[in-house]
Structure 1
Amino acid sequence: MMIDRTPLTFRHEYKHLLSSPEDRILSARLGRLFPRDSHAGPEGTYRVYSLYFDTPDDRALRQKLDGTDSREKFRLRYYGNSPAFLRLEKKIKKGGLCAKRQARLTPEQGRFLLEGNTDFLLQSQDPLLIEFYSKLQGQLLSPRTVVCYEREAFLHPAGNVRITLDRHICTGISWRNFFSPEILERSVDPGRTVLEVKYDAFLPDIVRMAVQTPGRTTCAYSKYAACRRSD
């Protein structure tokens, strides 16, 4: 197992909620200016599937809704229609900045987690997996909801910028269907697209101008919280 030992780097992140016409205009503009993510399919997009964990009293959800300055959440994530590339991710927010830790899991290990079999985490030498085990036990973290969407991503090397357009957000009736993406049919906020811009120390002017949408201001939209509304 490969262990992520890279230093934790905090990045800037802001979001806009777009209408479908705004999405189409912005997608065309960004496509003329920046290369797309190399992992995208022929249409320039790919599907993202995430399973979020939370405490019995919904600590992660409440902290998000309350705007708590320092918070974290755990999720399993894979791409496309196969969990062959599966990761555990810990997303950290602090002082308006965000960072992420991640660890690879096998599909079998992912299914173990959904069944409540967690001993393999304690046997790992990966600090993130050991931390996750301790919080499954100590904070009673458990799977709460699935978030699925289509992503179109653009890159710009200056500032290590990543621009994403997330659309067709949906969830499922049960988190137990996480590895059955064809069952995730419940649409969330139809006709809305989430624009996210992430960057390191500075945002280049070309990106700042490219993502401008008249009348739109930054927002604190959470796909996890939106999908929890439909639980």
Structure 2
Amino acid sequence: MSTKLKYRHELKFIINRQQYYVIRQRLINLMDHDQHAGANGEYHIRSLYFDDIDNTALHEKLGGIRQRCKYRIRIYNVRDHIIHFEKKIKLNDYIAKVKEPITLDMYRSILANDFQVLHVPDKPLLMELYQQMNHRLLRPKVIVDYVREPLVYPYGNVRITFDKDLRTGLHQMDIFDKDLKPVAAMDENFIILEVKYDEFIPETIRSALQLEGLHRQSASKYVICRKFLKENSWEDY
């Protein structure tokens, strides 16, 4: 990519409902809800994740490779006015994200294996995807579906999210289907807490989080959903 990537810190934890209520109560008076959240402070995210013929993204994550990437199409609140094809890059404990908007027609073409729609020379990410799909057989693998409650704090550009009700579905399903019924991929008592920031976490936020009392985990929603499908004999890899 010609654009310089902006890497941020990312910490992940799996917490239970009781921990969620305690942490949220500490944070709610210090932070604001993200401007895109609804009246209840949440929004819905649904992603279609891709992997190549060797399931590289899956195996690199399981193998603990410190530099890796994932590709996904992401939508919000099951609406088609914002559709992004994203590349999430992981480097040690840092993350960066590159994304390009695509249209609903482009989405339909990609799912029909018509990758020519990605051949846009002035869009490096789309060209990378075009090459990956033609030469590495990058294809849809799994739907990842959840509700996110995002909190933001301007100093340190801190973003804390509570991801709830993690669900999954087979990649053949249409992510725009409002009647889609993905199945629970994780016990509903558990929530994925993500903490993202630039250079530092302000002490007030750090104290409220009490990170020292939490156990960091490799909480990849993509891997959780792929493993769920495999364990329930819906998919082999």
Aligned to 2:150: 153
- Which of 44, 47, 52 matches 2:44? 47
Distance 1:162 1:175 in 2: 32
Question: Which residue of the partner structure matches residue 206 of structure 1?
Answer: 204
Which consecutive unaligned segments of at least 5 residues does structure 2 have? 230-237
2:215 maps to 217
Q: 1:30 Cα shift? A: 1.8
**Whole-Å separation in 1 of the counterparts to 2:199 and 2:212:** 25
Please say if residues 53 and 145 of structure 1, whose CA atoms lie closer than 8 Å, have aligned partners that are also in contact: yes
Distance 1:215 1:6 in 2: 38
Matches within 5 A, 1:14-93: 14-93=11-90
CA distance in 1, matches of 2:178, 2:203: 39
d(CA) in 2 for partners of 1:154, 1:5: 31
| Bigger mean CA deviation after superposition, 20-29 or 124-133 | 20-29
Using the size of structure 2 for normalisation, the TM-score is 0.91
Deviations 1:122-155 (A, max 9, x none): 1352111001111111111100000010000011
Change (3 A) 1:203 1:215: closer
Mapped partners of 1:198, 1:142: distance in 2? 29
Q: Which runs of 5+ in 1 are unaligned?
A: none
* Shift of residue 184, structure 1, vs aligned partner: 3.3
Residue 230 of structure 1 aligns to a residue in which SS? helix
Task: Tell me whether 68-77 or 171-180 shows the greater mean CA deviation.
Answer: 171-180
d(CA) in 2 for partners of 1:68, 1:161: 26
Counterpart of 1:196 (choices 191, 194, 201) is 194
1:121 aligns to 2:80 (yes or no): no
C-alpha contact 1:171 1:185 (8 A) present in aligned 2: yes
Q: Is the 8 A contact 1:83 1:179 kept in 2?
A: yes
After the TM superposition, which segments of 4 or more aligned residues of structure 1 sit over 4 Å from their partners? none
RMSD (Å) for aligned C-alpha atoms: 1.7
In structure 2, C-alpha distance between the alignment counterparts of 1:49 and 1:216, rounded to whole Å: 27
Amino acid at match of 1:59: T
Deviation at 1:111, TM superposition (A): 1.4
Distance 1:180 1:119, change over 3 A: same
**Total equivalences in the alignment:** 228
Report the CA distance shift for 1:5/1:181 in structure 2 as closer, same or farther (over 3 A). Answer: farther
Tell me the SS of whatever aligns to 2:33. coil
Aligned partner of 1:11 among 5, 8, 11: 8
Q: CA deviation at 1:25?
A: 2.0
Q: Mean alpha-carbon deviation: is it higher for 119-128 or for 68-77?
A: 119-128
CA contact (8 A) 2:158 2:198 kept: yes
The answer (yes or no) to whether the contact 1:54–1:144 under 8 Å persists in 2 is: yes
Matched, 1:131 2:131: no
